[in-house]
Amino acid sequence: MVYKKKSEKYGKTIVLIDATNIIYANKYLTWPIDHEKLIKYLKERYNTKKVIYYSGLEAGDVGRANFYRIIESFGFETRIKPVTVYRGKFYWKRFRCPKCRQIVKRRFQGPPIKKANCDVDLTVDAIKYSPNYDTLLLFSGDGDFSALVNHLKTKNKKTIIFSTKQTCSKKLRQVAYRFIEINQLRGVLE
């Protein structure tokens, strides 16, 4: 596929992908992202040399481990952390007992919460590699990255956010140099 030529206004670029937020954004897409096409697009359109994918891996998840090997063969670098499973939150619920018809209050436990906590790793890499790039292409919608984007601005770095409007923090969109709605790239990435 032929893409628009890379604009010189972006200079040297790096791509950091927060997989958790992209997986969440995928719920709002009606199409799957082809990772091989994604890396090709990023290299041809933005002339990027480094694409890092941050994610977690549960023990024994062979399918996910194979997925990481596949995207590494496309040229992605991966930063994989073990997933930690936390006990679900407790909550109280009121309901009417079907036998005695009285209002009863009962304590329930929500489903377990799984986290890999890759945000700090991504942030450290963004700062560590900042002397080597002019523009950060960040695949995330997490508002916590607003502080990173503001910090990079003080170093004269631009940040382009790739996400969906439904999953991207308004604050992150506001502080970014540019926001690109992933749905606009369907013809290229599907």
pLDDT per residue as tens digits for the range 178-189: 999 999 999 999
> Does residue 99 form part of some domain?
no
Considering 3-7, 35-39, 86-90, 96-100, the range whose residues carry the highest mean pLDDT is: 35-39
> Does residue 98 form part of some domain?
no
User: What pLDDT was estimated at residue 7?
Assistant: 59
DSSP secondary structure of 5-50: PPPGGG-SEEEEEEHHHHHHHHTT-SS---HHHHHHHHHHHH--S-
Higher pLDDT: 165 or 26? It is 165
User: What pLDDT was estimated at residue 18?
Assistant: 95
Whichever domain contains 23, its CATH number is 3.40.50.1010
What's the domain count of the chain?
1
User: What pLDDT was estimated at residue 2?
Assistant: 46
For residue 55, the enclosing domain spans 9-83+116-189
Helix, strand or coil, per DSSP, at residue 43: helix
> Does residue 1 form part of some domain?
no
Higher pLDDT: 53 or 96? It is 53
Q: How far apart are CA 156 and CA 170, in angstroms?
A: 22
User: What pLDDT was estimated at residue 131?
Assistant: 97
pTM: 0.85
pLDDT per residue as tens digits for the range 102-116: 888 888 888 888 778
Q: How far apart are CA 35 and CA 83, in angstroms?
A: 22
